[in-house]
Chains A and B, each alone.
Chain A
Amino acid sequence: AQSVTQLDSQVPVFEEAPVELRCNYSSSVSVYLFWYVQYPNQGLQLLLKYLSGSTLVKGINGFEAEFNKSQTSFHLRKPSVHISDTAEYFCAVTPDNYGQNFVFGPGTRLSVLP
């Protein structure tokens, strides 16, 4: 079984400042990793995913994440945030054996302040 931890439930940050949203996972098997964003009153949208290859993954809207297998982490970063990045961010994993049982973390609410 897999589990996902997002230690920060809320992250306030000023506009144009950098941000890091933390994600750690636990799994007895290798996993694929994902970040999803949920804007207010909208459905979840895929930001980026790590399946294989380079551990640094670039996604939409200027976000990137780095997979660290030894630390079982997949932290999300953006060098300069905008007001429009205010949203809920979810980290998720699924086994890499073609399993489709996705496990999501509890989410981190990013609030970008003017």
Chain B
Amino acid sequence: GAGVSQTPSNKVTEKGKYVELRCDPISGHTALYWYRQSLGQGPEFLIYFQGTGAADDSGLPNDRFFAVRPEGSVSTLKIQRTERGDSAVYLCASSPQAGTYEQYFGPGTRLTVT
């Protein structure tokens, strides 16, 4: 079946602009996660959704970052007033339910802020 998809695959934006990154989880998966991976580093947790609600957003670095999952399926990560330090690969993962501890990762969106 279809895996986790993320769009766009690449995004180049200018400093100060607003960007939206989209994640389509595996159908039926109730848990959804966003991570950020900088070059040479492991994924860094940003936020976790169970259904429509953000159950843990402790990893969001500041209030420029926001994520939604209005219908419990597709999620959008929104970054306002982008900074060069936001450049990274943004990864999305989904899980059948949180207690399985089995995350299925998408290919990521590479964000470059110039």
| A residues apposed to B, CB below 8 Å | 4, 32, 34, 36, 42-46, 49, 51, 90, 92, 94, 98-107
Highest count of chain B CB atoms <10 Å: which of A42, A45, A100: A100
Tell me which of A43, A45, A100, A106 contacts B40 (CB under 8 A). A106
Cβ of B42 within 8 Å of any chain A Cβ, yes or no, is yes
Quote the shortest CB–CB distance from A46 to chain B (angstroms): 6
Taking CB atoms, residues of chain A closer than 8 Å to B90 are: none
14 extra interface residue pairs, beta carbon distance < 8 Å, beyond A100-B55, A102-B33, A107-B40: A32-B101, A34-B101, A44-B43, A44-B105, A46-B102, A90-B43, A99-B56, A100-B33, A100-B48, A100-B56, A100-B98, A101-B45, A102-B45, A106-B42
User: Closest residue of chain B to A104, judged by CB?
Assistant: B42
CB-CB under 8 A for A43 and B4, given A100-B31, A101-B59: yes
- A35 and B56 CA atoms in complex are apart in Å by 22
**Interface on B for A, CB 8 Å cutoff?**
3-4, 31, 33, 35, 40-45, 48, 50, 55-56, 58-59, 91, 93, 98-99, 101-108
**CB pairs A–B below 8 angstroms (16 shown):** A4-B42, A32-B101, A43-B104, A43-B107, A44-B43, A44-B103, A44-B105, A90-B42, A90-B43, A100-B33, A100-B98, A101-B59, A102-B35, A102-B43, A102-B45, A105-B42
